[in-house]
Structure 1
Amino acid sequence: MSSTEDQVDASPAPYLAANLNEPTKSSLQEIVHDSVIAVGGYWRPASATIRLLEELAELAEAIHDESKDLASITEELADVFFISTCLANQFGVALPDRHVVSGEDAASLESKMLLLVQICGRLARVINYYDGPKNLKKSESLTPIGDIVAQIHAVLRSVARQLRVDLDLAVRSKAAKSRVRDSGRFPMSFDPSTADSLTEFRSVTEASDCSFARQAKIWGAPTWNVTKSLHHNVDQVIPFLISFTKATRHESLDGFVIAPSLPYQNTSISKLSRSFEGLLKAINRGDPARSPCLDGNIAKAGWQFEFNGRRLFVSVFSPLYPGGHPRAAHRDFVLFQPEESFDEHRVGSAYSESEVIRTAVRRKFQERGLWYPEEVIDSRIEGHIYLLPLRKGDPPVEWWLRGTDQLVLF
């Protein structure tokens, strides 16, 4: 695992890393996603897993019930495929179009159903950790959701081949029927993979000179309620931030973005500094691991914000920053990036690829005649990089010295 100093040496904000060689989502994934969004959005992963196990039981009943026709079995196969795909979508997984389990076609239907139960049980175990009360043992490891769902799909396709069923057609048909049957059936639900805050933040990632930004896997916080207090809004964020920090190590998530609303437009970096300090303090109070990070020496090399036992790099974006500034945005955003994301994508001074990336980004800024805050970044004081100065020559923003709880603006 790389040190904080390695990460600070990476490309400028947003420090977003993603594997550009990852496969894009399959056409069936996109069809499932569009159908889910059309009828109200994704369920919480724990609720979806319960539904998956329910559909798995119905599939088993259909296969073992001699009175059930092939159409009923086909529909249940599509249900299991559909809901497992939803879980993959929620964690940003790009599933292969085909995944083969060796020797499965020769097995009996009963053996395949037993295998499906075992695989879905493993999926439930993972989701119960990400979105439930389960804690992992120190020696315990998890299989990524993408690998598990790919195995589920492989067995479902094997069953479909044995029964001479077109599973792809069945899933497409289910998606089309769902748009009609389930429209208005369920209340609109929130999921961090489709959050409004994430949708708004895309304008920042698309404008970024960081070559990885557009492919980054990011979750978003619930919409900020301007009629409620800072602490009320942070209370709504905390459960999703906890799930994010649990999942990021195994699911390669790159960031979690909050779009806090201000009671009035920030007019100075000092006011933005106070707002940011207040937000971090409120999040720190909700940390289940009770990290003392904000009590440490933030101006020391090696310091980093922590939440739920994960080291997170933080970036503030704001309309205060002029056009061309690496943190310029149409509204305020605060982005949290896990240390694992940097290591996963080999970003940091320990990796030769990082120097190439950093040089390319700095060259882009120079070619456009824009200021790149290399003097702040090269200082290796991470606290100075969370909230950048407005322009070249301005002193580092020591946000941790500027505000008090009484001056929180978010």
Structure 2
Amino acid sequence: MREIQQKIDTMILHLGGYWRPLSGLARLLEEVGEVGGAMRRGSAEELKEELLDVLVISTCLANQYAISLQQQEADVRGVTKEQLYFQIVEEAGEVARILNAYEGDKKLKPNRQGESLQLHIEQLQRAVISLGEQCNYELFDSLYALIDEKSTRDFGRFDHTPDPITEASVRSYVTYQSGRYWGGIDPKPFERFDRYMEREKHIERFLKIAHIEGLDGFVIKLGRDGLIVPENVEKDLNLPSDFKVTIEVYNTQGYVVIRPKL
């Protein structure tokens, strides 16, 4: 599954970049509806294509939260195709509930055991794989072919949307430290830290979800002519008490990293 996630990440960057999460959610729900339409019409080829699209878009959402998905195995014991579709609809609704809390207007409830985005994306994908098994589709084999086709055919199809998983800061940082990280935008030359914080909109999102989704940190890259970091950056950020700030240097490249406390 790690290889599939990396291939989809490369494909999405080739196409222009990730959608905003709520836009990605809208696409996911659209594809789930199209799965239902293909089943109602009895169109086998269309159903296979729509199931593949659900796998791709749900993996994109997982990538945006630095989730390492576990590959799901089909489980078709005692269930019908219709029941598996109902499972897909139910899990897509759970993904929507969580993302609406993370990205939309819904208030985030206290974390409950088993309520992570990862769990519901994996359960959604298990239902998709199981429905594919019921229909005798080799979904994973077809998935590789679909990724290659889209990468070749649709270059630059989407407008670039800045995303904390694709920023240069996090892409360079994870070459030194493995883990699940988001990254901040590049600072302007000699930019004051408070001005930078006004432009960087993703830290607030990170602080909301880091403990729930198990993110390891938020990375801000320090350029030679870049960010002017105050002496007490932790106080300047006004962080919640369950977060801390570290300054790390690797091969002369410096980073400010906001981390959840264990």
1:166 match: 138
Confirm whether residue 335 of structure 1 aligns to residue 257 of structure 2: yes
Post-superposition offset of 1:88: 1.4
| Residue type at the aligned position of 2:171 | T
By how many angstroms is 1:127 displaced? 1.2
> Per-residue CA shift, 1:108-136, capped at 9, x if unaligned?
22222121111111011111122222212
- Work out whether 1:253 is the aligned partner of 2:225: no
| Cα distance change, pair 235–94 in 1 and its aligned pair in 2 (3 A) | same
Partner residue of 2:244 out of 303, 310, 313 = 313
Corresponding position of 2:179: 216
Instruction: Name the SS for the 1:143 alignment partner.
Output: coil
1:235 aligned onto 2:210: no
User: Which residue identity does 1:131 align to in structure 2?
Assistant: E
Q: Is the 8 A contact 1:129 1:246 kept in 2?
A: no
Query: Counterpart of 1:147?
Result: 119
The residue type equivalent to 1:334 in the other structure is V
Tell me what 2:3 maps to. 27
Within-5 A mapping of 1:379-394: none
Equivalent residue for 1:81, pick from 42, 55, 65: 55
Match of 2:167 in 1: 195
Structure 1 stretches of 5 or more lacking a match?
Answer: 1-24, 207-213, 267-271, 285-305, 318-326, 343-410
1:255 positional shift: 0.7
Q: Tell me the SS of whatever aligns to 1:194.
A: coil
Q: CA deviation at 1:31?
A: 2.1
Unaligned runs of 5+ in 2: none
One-letter code aligned to 1:53: L
Specify whether residues 190 and 332 from structure 1 end up closer, same or farther in structure 2 by C-alpha distance, changes over 3 A only. Answer: same
Aligned position for 2:33: 57
Other structure's SS at 2:215 match: coil
Deviations, residues 269-312 of structure 1 (Å, cap 9, x unaligned):
xxx7xx3248656644xxxxxxxxxxxxxxxxxxxxx24xx521
How many Å separate the matches in 2 of 1:166 and 1:99? 12
2:190·2:225 contact (CA, 8 Å) conserved in 1? no
* Other structure's SS at 1:48 match: helix
How many residue pairs get aligned? The number is 262
Structure 1 residue 329 displacement after superposition: 4.9
Q: Equivalents in 1 of 2:111, 2:95: separation in Å?
A: 18
Opposite residue 233 of structure 1, the aligned amino acid is Y
2:230 to 270, 276, 279: 276
CA–CA distance in structure 2, aligned partners of residues 99 and 61 of structure 1: 25
Partners of 2:236 and 2:251 lie apart in 1 by 23
Contact 1:48 1:87 (8 Å CA) reproduced: yes
176 and 234 in structure 1: CA distance in 2 versus 1, 3 angstrom threshold? same
Shift in Å, 1:139 = 7.6
Aligned-partner SS, 2:253? coil
Any idea what the Cα deviations from partners look like across 1:371-409, whole Å, max 9, x if unmatched? xxxxxxxxxxxxxxxxxxxxxxxxxxxxxxxxxxxxxxx
CA gap 1:134/1:180 in 2 versus in 1, 3 angstroms: same
> What TM-score results when the alignment is normalised by the length of structure 2?
0.88
Q: What is the TM-score when the length of structure 1 is the normalising length?
A: 0.58
- 3-state DSSP class of the match of 1:259? strand
Query: What residue number does 1:39 align with?
Result: 15
1:75 shift after superposition:
0.6
Given the superposition, is the C-alpha separation of residues 202 and 117 from structure 1 closer, same or farther in structure 2, using an over 3 Å criterion?
closer
Structure 1 residues 281 and 263, CA, compared in 2 at 3 Å: closer, same or farther? farther
Structure 1 residue 221, shift from structure 2 partner: 0.6
**Between the two proteins, what is the percent identity of the paired residues?**
27
Task: Flag the structure with larger Rg.
Answer: 1
| Alpha-carbon distance between aligned partners in 2 of 1:282 and 1:139, rounded to the nearest angstrom | 28
